[in-house]
A and B are shown apart, each in its own frame.
Chain A
Amino acid sequence: MPPANPQANVRVVTLTIDGQDLSARADETIIEVCRENQIPIPSLCYLDGLSIWGACRLCLVELEGQNRLFAACSTRVAEGMRITTQTERLRRYRRTIVELLFAERSHICSVCVSNNHCELQTLAQKCGVDHVRIPYRQARYQMDSSHELFRLDHNRCILCTRCVRVCDEIEGAHTWDVMGRGSDCQVITDLAQPWGESETCTGCGKCVQVCPTGALVKQGTSAGEMVKDKHFLPILARRRHAP
């Protein structure tokens, strides 16, 4: 007979995070254990309910006995693991990565619809980014206001691909994807058509809700007015994947 609980044969391991002794299921990742135990760890591409992307590199942690750094979102826990999430080196790297993001496109908080409700902004504050040492690229990107409900501003996009994943994995429409490479990367709808002309978009708005910045917003919002709600996602994801 198959086991009543499909996860019954998953082992439980004990590990240390920042000196704290913790227990976790062996199939959990470091970031899941951190979130469960209120250990703060910065991240942008990770979102509970979506697949692992491993691209923002902000959740990198140190593992005892290992030279290289490990992304907490894509590393599973193991028995006896000793993890450090806050060191001088990690803080310096995280700050530089956030600065790279700010310098890459245009993130001027004061005029942004997501001002005070932006994950990038909050993260920058937590990572101690009081100014950006890296030269701004001053590149100008397009906006797409063709959708009747929503608006896309590439200038605010950080290419975390949450919109791509939520649309593909939860809504099942796969309207979003990424085109180009390197700094020419852009999120696109369908085959790079205006969003309003997309034949696959259901208008559900999940992409807007999961977007961490002011790149995807509701039409008609002005500076600081766009507040997002991500609470639906873990619940929805769990229902989708329930046995």
Chain B
Amino acid sequence: MNLDDLAELAEGYRAKEAGNAYEARVCMAASCQSSGAPAVLTALTQALGEGEGETGCKVKGVGCMGLCSAGPLVAIAPQGADLMGSTLYRDVKPEDAADIMASVGGAPLERLRCPTDQPFFARQRRIVLENSGIIDPDSCKGYVAVGGYAALVQALGEMTPAEVLREVTASGLRGRGGGGYPAGLKWSTVAKVPGDQKYVICNADEGDPGAFMDRAVLESDPHRVLEGMAIAAYAIGASKGYLYVRAEYPLAVERLTTAIRKAKRSGFLGARIAETSFSFEVEIRLGAGAFVCGEETALMASIEGNRGQPRPRPPYPAESGLWGCPTLINNVETFANIAPIIRNGGDWFAAIGTEKSKGTKVFALAGTIANTGLIEVPMGTRLRDIIEAIGGGIPGGKAFKAVQTGGPSGGCIPETHLDIPVDYDSLKTLGTIMGSGGMIVMDETADMVDVARYFMEFCMTESCGKCIPCRAGTQQMHALLDSIARGRGTRQDLALLEELCEVVQATSLCGLGQTAPNPVLSTLKYFREEYEAKLSGT
């Protein structure tokens, strides 16, 4: 199969749909499902049945459209239109189905209308989420119809592995899991390490509180992740891949299972992909609920069937990973960026974003903010724009206090620093990290000591217990934070807390322990007076 064959295939799939002038797209991602999307989908299908054929409309379950707080979302889209070109309805109930179907092709239904020209949609730039909310995640044909698997066929048919590596390196893509390690460098390292058996692993063990980017990508566009993994496997010379997904994401697992089955049947995975000599098998492994298994060495131990706990690095996975073989491990969003990079070239990607952080980043907006949901913006977007324009600011007339990025490994950013551009390096200067993309917004009523205590409790219960500083240190720090929060802490307690922060950060074995003190350190840096106000006597 070459690119022309694939284009013909895609054209054929599109032609089949051309009979329907409109599509009623119902978000069937986890968030909208939990607010009642399945019933809406059924009601719309029924309403369509009653008006048989006249409307030229088809009801379709799609992935995440982003504005989770307004769910269930339904988009009435002219065939082939994107989200901006559709009429979007919010808070749809099954009773609204008949009215919505009646309005197709005519005047939009104003009472449910959710304008798509508002900043939440207009200020985004969708690369990773380009198909999200548009295609049916369970349809391989739907993915091919919008240009899916073209990058894989192009890489296999027209590029050498070295050329693929060159494009990924030129793109400047950095790991989206939080570390920000250059993807091109990681890929070329694994490619150069000698070995007959190599592995590709996709880390989908998203565990930060308030983060749901990877879940949305897997639920909305699973084939894109598989395509990225297959391209990576071709570039580094791997024949086997694992998708490590947390068991708490049953919908994502279900869609991935379907996607793998259909991709194999269509010849985009498995033996002799796209009729070339390249073969690549993907297997899903479920996480059993340990946050630390998102750490790469612990994740690999878990895949091997061992206790999920980290080991010292070096050797890095690139040299000695899964079962001692050279292994490439990247996060969901990193793999989701690969297909467009191959399709449009590394230079195209490198033109987006800032000097050292290229491309876009998906963020999950949560907390006290008007628009909670998923957004994708170019790197370098000002934090203020994300929170005030895209996020719609703080509801209820309250004032902004802080935004927490990077989950339990990150920190809090106060109002005075809201004008910084969001990229890996700027966030680091503020004592926080980009992380995987969770953003928890807090208003003036938030108690920062309590925030620090919450994250420390999270790290304490998620510590695997292998190394002493993390196992015993997080517990001591939590006890100190708890007594400060209850107004029983002394100045000595605060001093001891700060000292433990330093020791745990410098001496822990893996990233969990090394970054566990960050929420404390950053709240101490910007909100120290809140700690001091709670100290008792002495």
Contact = CB atoms under 8 A, between A and B. Distances in A.
B472 A185 contact: no
Nearest to A52: B312
B355 to A, nearest CB: 23
A97 B469 contact: yes
The 9 closest A-B pairs by CB, nearest first: A185-B465, A54-B312, A74-B312, A100-B472, A182-B463, A57-B507, A104-B472, A55-B467, A96-B503
Contacts of A75: 312, 314
A159 B465 contact: yes
A57 B465 contact: no
Interface string B454-469: 0000001111111111
A46 to B, nearest CB: 11
B503 A97 contact: yes
A28 B465 CA distance: 28
A171 B62 CA distance: 57
B113 to A, nearest CB: 49
Interface in A82-130: 92-93, 96-97, 100-101, 103-104
B223 interface: no
Interface stretch (B75-83, B101-109, B410-418, B473-481): B473-481
A3 to B, nearest CB: 19
A56 B475 contact: no
Interface in A154-184: 158-159, 177-178, 180-184
Nearest to B495: A133
Contacts of A54: 311-312, 467, 509
A103 B307 CA distance: 26
B499 interface: yes
B198 interface: no
Most buried by A among B499, B500, B507, B509: B507
A134 interface: yes
A53 B312 CA distance: 8
B518 to A, nearest CB: 15
A26 to B, nearest CB: 14
B468 A100 contact: yes
A60 B507 contact: yes
A135 B472 contact: no
Contacts, number: 94
B320 to A, nearest CB: 12
Interface residues of A, number: 35
B472 A101 contact: yes
Contacts of A103: 472, 476
A191 interface: no
Nearest to A54: B312
A35 interface: no
B404 interface: no
Most buried by B among A104, A177, A182, A184: A182
Interface of A: 52-57, 60, 68-69, 71, 74-76, 92-93, 96-97, 100-101, 103-104, 133-135, 137, 158-159, 177-178, 180-185
Interface residues of B, number: 31
B460 A182 contact: yes
- Chain A interface helix/strand/loop/mixed: loop
Nearest to A56: B468
A133 B472 CA distance: 14
A182 B463 CA distance: 5
B468 A57 contact: yes
Contacts of B311: 54
B451 interface: no
A37 to B, nearest CB: 22
A55 B468 contact: yes
Contacts of A101: 468, 472
Contacts of A158: 468
Most buried by B among A52, A68, A97: A97
Given A97-B468, A180-B465, A185-B471, A69 B476 contact: no
Nearest to A44: B468
Nearest to B480: A135
B477 to A, nearest CB: 10
B468 A135 contact: no
Contacts of A182: 460-465, 471, 474-475
B389 interface: no
A125 to B, nearest CB: 18
B506 interface: yes
B462 A178 contact: no
A185 B290 CA distance: 14
A55 B307 CA distance: 15
Given A57-B509, A96-B503, A183 B472 contact: yes
B68 to A, nearest CB: 31
A180 to B, nearest CB: 7
Contacts of B290: 181
Most buried by A among B471, B475, B509: B471
A100 B507 contact: no
6 contacts: A54-B467, A57-B509, A75-B314, A92-B503, A101-B468, A183-B463
B507 A159 contact: no
Contact of A178 (B307, B469, B472, B500): B307
B508 interface: yes
A97 B508 CA distance: 10
Contacts of A76: 314
A178 B307 CA distance: 9
B307 A137 contact: no
B162 interface: no
A158 B462 CA distance: 19
A135 B476 contact: yes
Contacts of B351: none
A96 B517 CA distance: 16
B420 interface: no
B84 interface: no
Interface string B288-317: 001010000000000000010001101000
Nearest to B307: A178
Contacts of B461: 182
B308 to A, nearest CB: 9
A172 to B, nearest CB: 18
Contacts of B464: 181-182
Most buried by B among A55, A104, A177: A55
A166 B410 CA distance: 39
